[in-house]
Amino acid sequence: MNNAKSIEIAEKLKLHPGDHLIAQRILYTHHGLYIDEGYVAEYSLDYGVHLILLDEFIADSKLRLRSHDKAKYSPQEAVERAKSRLGECNYNLLFSNCEHFVNWCIEGKEYSRQVDNIIGIFPPLAMASMVKELSDSAFDVINNKKDLKEAINQAATSSNINPIIKTGEIIEDVSGINILNEFENQTDNLKHKAKNFKHKRKNELLGLKREIKKLAKKLIK
C-alpha cells in the first residue's frame, strides 16, 4: 500500500504515535490509534484489529483527537498494546468495539463513551450506571484508594452522574461539536470584540478631545 498520502496528512495534522483519532461519521464516531508512517490501528467488524492507512481511516470524515487525562500507558506503550492485538476478530458493538479498543490501549480499561451514553438514555440502565459509579467511588474511599473529596469530585464530573456532561458528550459523538469548547470560543470572541470596540471608541474620544483643543486655541486667538 502506498502510504505517501497518509504520511503527508499525518505531518500536516502533526499527529504522533499513540494519538487517539476520532473520525466523525454520520450520527456516530469511529476510533483508531495512530501508529506511525501513516498507519492507524482500528477494530472493525469486517477485519477485526488491523492496520489501515490514515487517509482511508479518515475517508470523507472530519478528524479530531481525544486527550486522555487518565492515560495509564505512554504513547509508545499504547502503540505496542495495539500491535499485540493485531488479528483479533472478536468485535462486539456493545462490549468490544473500536472505542473500547483504543481506550484499552491507552488507559488499560475497555469502555465506550458512545455505548455508555446511548445506554444511559434508557432510565433503568441509566440508574444502574449511576449506582455503579457511586458504588465504585464509595469502594475507593473505604479502601483508602482516594480521599472523600477526590471521590466526590470524580463522581460529579462523570457523565453517569452529571446529565449536562452526558448531554454534551452525546451531542459531540453525534455531530462532532464540543459544546463546551464552542461556548468558550464564542465567549473569547465576544471578549475580543468588546476589547476592540472599547479601544476604537477610546481612540475616537482622544481624537475628539484633540479637535476640541485645536478649536479652543483658534477661538482664543
Please report the pLDDT score of residue 51 as a whole number.
97
Is the pTM higher than 0.75? The answer reads no
Q: Classify 64 as helix, strand or coil.
A: strand
Q: Which domain holds residue 160?
A: 112-177
Grid coordinates belonging to 57:
481511516
Q: Is residue 182, in this structure, part of any structural domain at all?
A: no
Q: Which amino acid is at 154?
A: Q
Residues 201 and 138 in one domain: no
Task: Indicate if 142 and 36 belong to the same structural domain.
Answer: no
- Low-confidence stretches of the chain (pLDDT < 70) are 1, 118-186, 219-221
Q: Hey, how many other C-beta atoms are within 10 angstroms of the C-beta on 9? A: 18
> What's the pLDDT score for residue 161?
45
pLDDT of residue 135: 56
Residue 172 lies in a domain: yes
Quick one: which of 103, 98, 66 has its CA closest to 81?
Answer: 103
